[in-house]
Amino acid sequence: MQAVMDPITKSRYTTVYNEINCYEYIKTIFTKVLWNSLAQFRITFSIKQDKLTRQNGETMTSHCLRYPNLAEQLQV
């Protein structure tokens, strides 16, 4: 509980505290709440719509390396 910083997550954790019996249960509950299809859609959208802008000093390499990191977070 001390590691949880998000107030919504803390609230959810407090609600189901008595039902928690293993890490996998916690992982499943929080994934459903915080990593839902809307959150994944936002990442997919940002991957598809993102463009390189050299105005902020970003290189082509760093721009392209961001995509695999974002894509690996998605659940198919």
**Cβ burial, residue 29 (10 Å; 0-12/13-18/19+):** middle
Q: Could you report the per-residue pLDDT of 37-62, keeping only the tens digit for each?
A: 888 888 888 888 888 777 778 888 88
Which pLDDT does position 37 carry in this prediction?
A: 82
Predicted pLDDT of residue 76? 57
Residue 64 has pLDDT above 80, yes or no: yes
pTM above 0.75, yes or no: no
- Give the pLDDT band of residue 74 (cuts 50, 70, 90): confident
Evaluate whether 1 touches 13 at the Cβ level (below 8 Å): yes
For residue range 8-39, what is the model confidence (pLDDT) as tens digits?
878 877 777 777 777 787 777 777 777 778 88
**What is the C-alpha to C-alpha distance for residues 9 and 40, in angstroms, rounded to an integer?**
18
